[in-house]
Structure formats: C-alpha cells, structure tokens
Amino acid sequence: MQEALEEVPRDAADIARFEQQIPWEQRAPAASVHEVFAGSARRHGERPALSMLMTGDPDEQPRVVNYSQLLEMIQRAANVFVEVGGRRPVVAYMLPNLVETYAVLWGAECVGSSLPINFLLQPAAIAQLLRAVGATVLVALGRHPRLDIWPKALEVRGQVPGLRLLRVGPGDEDVPELGAMMRAARGDALDSPAGSGDDIAAYFHTGGTTGSPKLVRHTHANQICAAYCSAVLLDLDEQAVITQGFPLFHVAAAMPCGLGPFMRGSHLLLMSPSGFRDPAMVRNFWKVVERYRVSIAGGVPTAVGAVLDVPLDGADLSSLQFGLTGGAPAPHAVVQRWEQVTGTRLYEVLGMTETSGVVSVALRHGEHRAGSVGFPLPYTRAEVRRVLPDGAVGEVLPTGRTGVLVIRGPHVSPGYHDPAHDQGVFVEQGLVSGDLAYRDEDGRLYVCGRSKDLIIRSGHNIDPAMIEQAMTDHPAVALAAAVGQPDAYAGELPVVYVALRPGATASEQELREHAQACIAERPAWPRRIYVVDQIPLTSVGKVFKPELRVDAARRLVESVLEDELGLRGAQVRAADGARGIEVAIALGPGHAEAAERVRSRLAGYLFATRVSV
C-alpha cells in the first residue's frame, strides 16, 4: 500500500506532475479504512502507533499501543458493534481522547458508520443527530468526577428508541462495558464485510455548542484521499512523532492528524484526554517534546499561543522539525513567536469538515510564505471565485484578487445528510467553502476571513482578520477578535475584543493608537476596543464569534439607554435568535413612559427589540 515518495512535491509544478503521473483512482493506497490499518499493521507491527499521556509529567509511564495491537483493538470493536447494532451499524460516541476512542471510531467505520459527537452539546441536540442517521449504538464515557457525559448519555438513550448504550469505564451495571465485550470478541479478523469506496464511513457534525449542527457525510474514498494527500505534502514517515491534542470528535484529529500519520507508520502522542484544555499538558508541553523526541508539534492557534507562554526551562527541542496549526487563522505574532522560541517553521493548514478535514497544506520541503495556508492537495481544484450580488458564485478571479474559495476533489463530501442543507454550499462549481481567499503568483492560498464574518460598514467590506492581526502585533495582546457592532447609520461598525497576556497591561487608548498606526484602512479602525479576561472559544479552540456579536449588541443598547436616554437600572439581554440578534429590555420601575422612546431610538437597528417594564 505504501509507496516510496522519492519526489516529495516542493511547489505547484511538482504537485501538478504528481497528479499527472498516476490518476488518483490508481494511486489510492487503499479501498477502505480497514485496509489502511491492516496494511500498516503488516508493515509496522511492533512500532508504536499511539502513546496515551495523562499529564506529561517526567515520571509518567504512558500506555503504548503498537500497530498490530491497534488493528486488533479496531477489529474487536468492529465485531462488537455488529453483534450489538446489527449489520452496517451507525455507532455514535461521546468520549474524550482515549486509546479506546480510536478503536471505536475506526472499528465503527470498518463495518458501518461512525457518528462522533461533541459531548458539550445538549442532550436534545445529541438525540436529534442520532435519530437523523438511525444510530443503533452509543458508546459513552462512564461516570466521571468532572465530565457530565454519562448523565447526558442516559438522557439521550431515553430519547432514541432502540438505542443500545455501551460504556467505557465505571457506570451503571445494567449497561455493558465495551472493554469487557472487546476482550471476548474476535480480534484477528472482521466477522462482517468491511465497507469501502463510496460507502458512508462517517457522519461528522459541524457547528459549535449551540443550535442544530449539520451532518456531513464522509465516504471511505473521501477520507483516504484527504489522509494520504496531506501525508504526502507533509512527507510523513515512520520516524515522525506527532503531538495530537484535537478532540476526537473533530475531523482534524481523525484525518490529517490521525488516518494520515497512521498510513505512514508515524507515532501519535495523545496529549491527555482533554488535549490542550488540560493545564498540566500545557505546562509540561516542552518537556514532552524533549522526552519523546517530538518531530511535529502544534494545535489550534490558541493552544499554540498558550504553550508559547510557558518557559522552555532548558528543554531540548533539537528533535522538532516544524509546527502545524489550523482550525482558525494564526496571528502573525503567534507565528513569529513560535519561530523565535523553537527555531522551526509554523505551517498553517486549511481544512473543513466538508473536505474530510483538509483543503491545503504548506509543503514541508517547499518555500515558506508567512500567512499562507499552503497549496491545495493533489487532485484538488481550489478556485477563488467572485461572489455575485445574489450570493451565488461567479467567475474565477485572477491572482491576488480576493473572493470565495470553491473546492472540488475526491476528498470532498458527497453532501450533507439532509439534502436541504446542500443549497448554496454544494453547487455546480464545487463546494463553496465560505472562506475569503486569494492566491499568489506561485499558487499558494491565503485565507483572509470568512464571508459570514465580514464586517459591512455602509457597504464597505471590512476583513476582521486585518484588525485582529494588527491587535495581536501589540506585545501585550494574547488574542483578539473583531466583529461588527450594530449601527443605525452604517449597519455595523468594527469593534474588537482583546485578551491580554498574563501580567500584561494596556489601556484602551494605547490599544486604539496602536490600531490606528497599524491599520491602513481607516474604515477598519475599531470604533471600540473591549479588553476582556477571556474571549469565548469553541471546544476545539476557535474564537466563537456569534457570542461576541451578541455581546456587542448588548453593550451598544446599554450605552444608548444610559448615555443617551439617561435610563439607569434597565436589564438588557441579547441572544442569537432564529432570524438574527434579538434584544430584550426590561426597564426599571418608574420608566414606563420611556418605553416608546426606547423603541423609537432603537428602531433603526437591524436587530429585533422587545421592551417591557
């Protein structure tokens, strides 16, 4: 299955030659996920595949699983799922990062489909996802002192008829324990035919912790293409030791940071069940790099920023070859600090759930350009197209022009589970990513924001990334997030939320002067700068901008009430409703006559307003 890659691509011309030499249908290294793991077990049997770190402490003895053992665990889990869930089961799981989670994910995909669940979702949303795809099995972490997964799993079981619940670890005795069932199951082969090709291997949901996420279908062919092509561009091999801190319900953990390294015989370090949300793992990160001779390290930009705040304390980083980050644009300051601290490059990866986790990757052996997310995967067509007034996509734009990124290729999903969600996303030209991007003269991609995150001031499109990069260039700023605040005249005005580095101080005026000096586009100067203790993040470390937009609307209304109308003591609540932001205002006693004034003053804004006394 694994071919020698003597000619690893170094530029766009090399990628084009790589594509032309062998069509993808002939180059594909496997027809199924099961073939991937069976092939790796044959080639790398006793080599470590996974090491489970709980704290990263110097005296920790990690649990190590080699490639032969991993295949056996996967096959045992697969056979349990068929026994419990029937032929071609859909297996959902609510698990932190554990060795068992890998067995569940890949075991389900071998004989049916997996449904990875973000366990921060509410039970009703989880049950809705399970019912949508007809899940027959749910694997959940048992009782835990800090995680509420088990109570949620019990509640979900009551909402999904016929669902079989299995536990990992302690739990109710009437619920079978997966580990015991796996030990009793056959581990040397599958008892049921493996899925392959265009069979659905997984349903990954999109979205954060609120609302109703969309389910993205992945075929075996999609996942194998994304994993293989990203591994080619990164030149992964059996010598690579890679930190893995993404949650295993996230597509980045499963494909470019999972299946790809497993294809090449690499060694993954699981950075605790909670990943980089575990303070001990952040604190011990550089010593982990030293002890395990890590060659590739990284995470989402917020995680990278956190470990960069930890002193090296003499750690030996000579094994480190480069860093990887993705999930959100990396601030220039984070990239620069990584290179200063480690002496290596920090490469950005662009990915989407709808593209099996990866769109483009920086070439490990090519020239690095700051701010670029690299080159599209082999066999991928990534086009920057004009956005038309009706929201549709138009012609391909020339080099240097910004437009929406549209993607085609064998790793692109066949669509959402609910075809109604395909409208405007899966179109004739390809997958409309929603990313605003441009290409340089050598074919590299640069992402400059999300089309839905654009701040539109009196028809002027403002890229929030421009503001955020300027703010994070200030030495006191750890993280910045720019959003549009409602404005009666301009529609919205740019504001920015700023979190400072530990121990750092900076006044709003100082930050304002810095912004105006660094942002050439005057309309993009932030109208307000809000210094906050924390900026809200999703479960994978991305800035959660919907919460900030709501907060910006609330702050605006409070300012109007107090500063303009002189109304003190009013309670203002804002929320992201079905049709946009909704603001509820409860006026204090004695202000009944002011209700109409408030309604009149706020009538020019685009959010919905409800006033009560």
Task: Say whether pLDDT at 521 is over 90.
Answer: no
The candidate with the shortest Cα–Cα distance to 255, out of 329, 365, 347, 355, is: 355
In whole angstroms, what is the distance from residue 140 CA to residue 168 CA?
Answer: 6
Pairing of strands 200-205, 215-219: antiparallel
In whole angstroms, what is the distance from residue 73 CA to residue 318 CA?
Answer: 34
Would you state the structure tokens that stand for residue 593, as one six-digit string?
A: 């006559």
CB 565 within 8 A of CB 591: no
Least confident of 22-36, 98-112, 358-372, 406-420: 358-372
Looking at the chain, the whole-number percentage of residues with pLDDT higher than 90 is 70
Task: Say whether pLDDT at 358 is over 80.
Answer: yes
| Residue 606 confidence class, pLDDT cut points 50, 70, 90 | confident
- Give the residue carrying structure tokens 């640069």: 446
User: Helix (H, G, I), strand (E, B), or coil: what is residue 485?
Assistant: strand
Render the burial of 1-10: b for 16+ CB within 10 Å, e for the rest.
ebeeeeeebe
Would you state the structure tokens that stand for residue 87, as one six-digit string?
A: 């032929």
Looking at the chain, the whole-number percentage of residues with pLDDT higher than 70 is 95
Q: What is the pLDDT of residue 1?
A: 40
In Å, how far are 228, 273, 374, 442 from 367, measured between CA atoms? 21, 35, 10, 10
DSSP state letter for 257? I
Determine whether 123 is exposed, middle or buried from the number of CB atoms within 10 Å of its CB (0-12, 13-18, 19+): middle
Task: Say whether pLDDT at 24 is over 70.
Answer: yes
Averaged pLDDT for residues 495-524:
92
Task: Say whether pLDDT at 447 is over 50.
Answer: yes
Would you state the structure tokens that stand for residue 155, as one six-digit string?
A: 């509640």
In whole angstroms, what is the distance from residue 167 CA to residue 177 CA?
Answer: 5
Query: Where would I find the H helices in 476-602?
Result: 508-518, 545-559, 595-602
Task: Say whether pLDDT at 488 is over 80.
Answer: no
Domains of the chain: 12-446 (3.40.50.12780), 454-543 (3.30.300.30), 547-612 (3.30.300.30)
406 has which bridge partners? 383, 432
Render the burial of 85-95: b for 16+ CB within 10 Å, e for the rest.
beebbbbbbbb
Would you state the structure tokens that stand for residue 122, as one six-digit string?
A: 């509410």
DSSP string, 235-288: T--TT-EEEE-S-TTSHHHHIIIIIHHHHHT-EEEEE-TTGGGSHHHHHTHHHH
Determine whether 230 is exposed, middle or buried from the number of CB atoms within 10 Å of its CB (0-12, 13-18, 19+): buried
Residue 541: phi and psi, rounded to 5, are 90, 10
| Residue 459 confidence class, pLDDT cut points 50, 70, 90 | low
Averaged pLDDT for residues 541-569:
90
| Residue 403 confidence class, pLDDT cut points 50, 70, 90 | confident
In whole angstroms, what is the distance from residue 138 CA to residue 180 CA?
Answer: 16
Q: What is the pLDDT of residue 213?
A: 75
Would you state the structure tokens that stand for residue 391, as one six-digit string?
A: 């929201």
Residue 280's contacts (CB-CB under 8 Å, 6 or more residues apart) are 55, 56, 57, 272
CB 215 within 8 A of CB 130: no
In whole angstroms, what is the distance from residue 443 CA to residue 381 CA?
Answer: 11
3-state helix, strand, coil in the chain (%, to 5): 35, 25, 40
Task: Say whether pLDDT at 231 is over 50.
Answer: yes
Residue 467's contacts (CB-CB under 8 Å, 6 or more residues apart) are 480, 482, 494, 496, 515, 519, 524, 526
In whole angstroms, what is the distance from residue 303 CA to residue 479 CA?
Answer: 11
Task: Say whether pLDDT at 492 is over 90.
Answer: no
Task: Say whether pLDDT at 604 is over 90.
Answer: no
The candidate with the shortest Cα–Cα distance to 248, out of 357, 389, 404, is: 357
- Give the residue carrying structure tokens 């109304």: 567
Would you state the structure tokens that stand for residue 541, as one six-digit string?
A: 């470390």
CA 263 to chain centroid, in Å, comes to 22
271 has which bridge partners? 53
Task: Return the number of other C-beta atoms located less than 10 Å from residue 509's C-beta.
Answer: 9
The candidate with the shortest Cα–Cα distance to 382, out of 448, 435, 419, is: 435
Which tens digits make up the pLDDT trace of 528-551?
A: 999 999 999 887 778 889 899 999
Higher pLDDT, 612 or 2: 612
Task: Say whether pLDDT at 234 is over 50.
Answer: yes
Residue 228's contacts (CB-CB under 8 Å, 6 or more residues apart) are 28, 29, 260, 263
Task: Say whether pLDDT at 596 is over 80.
Answer: yes
DSSP state letter for 275? G
Task: Say whether pLDDT at 388 is over 90.
Answer: no
| Residue 291 confidence class, pLDDT cut points 50, 70, 90 | very high
In whole angstroms, what is the distance from residue 363 CA to residue 11 CA?
Answer: 7
- pTM (2 decimals)? 0.79
